[in-house]
Homo-oligomer: A and B are copies of this chain.
Amino acid sequence: MIEDKTPQRTSLSDLGEFGLIEHLTKNFEITQPSTLKGIGDDAAVLDFKDKKVVVSTDLLIEGVHFDLSYMPLKHLGYKAVVVNVSDIYAMNANPTQITVSVAVSNRFPLEALEELFEGITLAANEYNVDVIGGDTTSSQKGLIISITAIGEADGNEITYRNGAKSNDLLVVTGDIGGAYMGLQVLEREKQVFQVNPNNQPDLDGYAYLIERQLKPEARKDIRTLLHALEIQPTAMIDISDGLSSEIIHLCKQSGVGCNLYEDKLPLDPQLINTCEEFNLDSTTVAINGGEDYELLFTVSMDDFDKIKGNPNFTIIGHMTQESEGIHLITRADTKIQLKARGWNALQQE
């Protein structure tokens, strides 16, 4: 048996803009009761009744935000949606719709765009959001994705960045630093591959970290969980740029300080092992590595009993008076001022 390994390539210009949009969007179904009209008119029409509306937007550029040499297009489509709905969850709101705009250069065949939209569709189903509009056009270079996410919440549920009070507990969901170390593993394998293209990638033992980088999930469960526990966070943000950067945002907007405890940081064992192998300090990775898409929030001390012991939550510090500053308390009990170095800065170290 001889297999035809030539991948099918259909040129985008064969379809034209309207044909392309129709082809790519035909699988999107409307399931949210707030969506009155989705794709197909000058604009979508939504009805949120007495709910408040929450809106967030992100622009992703090839070579800046993602590298297609190790990011499969389907994963990229999925992640682009995750990044945006994560912002809606960070308001303690429920995502309901997204718009998706894509620009591609001629080097992408139709099949590549289909893969991208397959990932977008998967994520839209997973997070129960309707794709209600967008734009498909050509770019001069590379792939560009712009997603706007829309969500809904009752007015009293919405959680801003500016409500943290001194003595509030600082809580993070899940574990952190994994997405950054996943990227380090992928970068290393890319370099090995560039030296010797016959080399097979060695990704055994890094599965969790790579998944955190290539297929992150937004914490859609937390809103329900907080509701069930009758916890109203005082402030909340999602971890996209890195824990220290997000803590500084919360502190500045709330007018408080913070003590973050190194020994409380939730790290996966695979992260600790891989940091050792790469000769990187796991605390530095955990507080400066970004793209974890976990939620970081503050709660009143009164909620301590509801938070402690819940496997989804880790209390990593507490808020202080603004004048006390923003510090990491190390295992050796020294105080180090937190700086927002974020993702890019760390890579240059």
Residues of chain A touching chain B, judged by Cβ–Cβ distance below 8 Å, are 18, 36-37, 40-50, 52-59, 61-65, 87-88, 90-91, 93, 97, 99, 101-103, 132-135, 137-142, 144, 146, 148-151, 155, 158, 160-162, 236-238, 253, 340
Interface contact B36-A56, CB-CB below 8 Å: no
User: Which of B45, B103, B162 lies in contact with A59, CB distance below 8 A?
Assistant: B103
User: Which of B42, B64, B144 lies in contact with A238, CB distance below 8 A?
Assistant: B42
In the complex formed, the residue of B with least CB distance to A55 is: B44
Query: Known: A64-B137, A138-B61. Contact between A46 and B52, CB under 8 A?
Result: yes
Interface contact A43-B56, CB-CB below 8 Å: yes
List the number of copies, as a whole number: 2
Interface contact A45-B56, CB-CB below 8 Å: no
Could you give 26 example pairs across A and B, Cβ below 8 Å?
A40-B161, A41-B91, A41-B160, A41-B253, A42-B237, A43-B87, A43-B151, A44-B54, A45-B52, A45-B53, A45-B91, A46-B54, A55-B132, A57-B135, A57-B148, A59-B103, A59-B135, A59-B146, A61-B139, A64-B138, A65-B137, A101-B146, A139-B144, A141-B142, A146-B146, A148-B148
Chain B residues, CB < 8 A from A132? 55
In the complex, A55→B41 CA distance in Å? 10
In the complex formed, the residue of B with least CB distance to A253 is: B40
Interface contact B55-A133, CB-CB below 8 Å: yes
In the complex, A65→B88 CA distance in Å? 31
Chain B residues, CB < 8 A from A43? 54-56, 87-88, 90-91, 93, 149, 151
Interface contact A140-B42, CB-CB below 8 Å: no
Chain B residues, CB < 8 A from A58? 101, 135
A218 to B: closest C-beta gap in Å: 11
User: Which of B87, B101, B138 lies in contact with A57, CB distance below 8 A?
Assistant: B101
Chain B residues, CB < 8 A from A41? 91, 160-162, 253
A61 to B: closest C-beta gap in Å: 5
In the complex, A47→B54 CA distance in Å? 9
Interface contact B45-A158, CB-CB below 8 Å: yes
Query: Known: A141-B140, A148-B148. Contact between A155 and B47, CB under 8 A?
Result: yes
